[in-house]
Amino acid sequence: MIQFPNAKINLGLHILRKRADGFHDLETIFYPIALFDTLEFIESNEMKFEMSGIQIPGNMEENIVLKAYHLLKKDYPHLPNIHIHLLKNIPTGAGLGGGSADASFMLMALNKHFQLEITKQKMIEYAAQLGSDCPFFIHNQPCKATSRGEVLEIIQLNLVAYQFVLVNPKIHVNTGWAFAQLTPHQPQKSVFEIIQQPIQTWKEELINDFEKPIFEAHPVLQNIKNTMYQQGAIYASMSGSGSTMFGIFNKDLDKENIKKTFEGMSVYIV
């Protein structure tokens, strides 16, 4: 069975407060993006996991895709061994949710292929055990997210009239460090209010709280954002805690010029 897990971006991100459990309450908009990994499995005599494409640091045996399989295996012990192959195209540790997407798509693929008849709500509960972003990919529609990012509400937001440019400068940002740089606050206007306004107003109001400290530590990210606006972006921002920057452009953008402008970086136009 073959699946194509897609990436997401954050449209605005406010860190509201630190919780008693050590996590943070936040508000953001998750928006799915047409940048894909490829995830395939077949039934096998032995359990096997292989990867190609972008390399993920760490032990392959601890990959979140395998964690998704073993999570269902606990409740559905009749699941057979499978041979999994993951082709990574979505940059890792980049604020695009690639790992979370892979895990959630694995849950959904196992459910469908082996006819487990798990309800959508139960799938969301399984996904939440794997990571805060994972439940979003069960919906895989524009959502406003609260709490740690796992409390979701589907919203009407259609940006198909625009072109997205994603630029990853291959900088690793430690998420724990990034959170430690922030002072939680209650904004005057929520991301949910701003997102309902004309897209031309987003530049001045739709903010990712992580940008200020991360731009100070990595000025190249600020430069990428500024360059996107110079190239005609309607809105540009960092996704999550970075380091991928994205711009929303009109469809008539000069793609070759964009690629030349960000030469040496990973550039995706979707």
Catalytically active residues are 8, 133
User: Can you say whether residue 158 is alpha, beta or left, with left for phi > 0 and alpha for psi between -120 and 50 degrees?
Assistant: beta
Cβ-contact 246, 236 below 8 angstroms: yes
Residues 129-146: b if buried by 16+ CB within 10 A, e if exposed: ebbbbbbbbbbbebbbbb
**Radius of gyration of the chain measured on its C-alpha atoms:** 19
Single-letter amino acid code for the residue at 28: T
End-to-end Cα spacing for the chain = 25
Question: What is the helix (H) or strand (E) element at residue 164, kind and residue range?
Answer: strand 162-168
DSSP helix/strand/coil, 179? helix
Give me 114's structure tokens: 């082996």
User: Count H helices, E strands: the chain?
Assistant: 10, 12
Measured distance CA(56)–CA(21) in Å, rounded: 29
Distances (CA, A) of 236 to 9, 46, 224, 227, 247: 11, 46, 9, 10, 4
Query: Where does residue 17 rank: exposed (0-12), middle (13-18), buried (19+ CB within 10 A)?
Result: exposed
Measured distance CA(131)–CA(97) in Å, rounded: 10
Give me 211's structure tokens: 């940008």
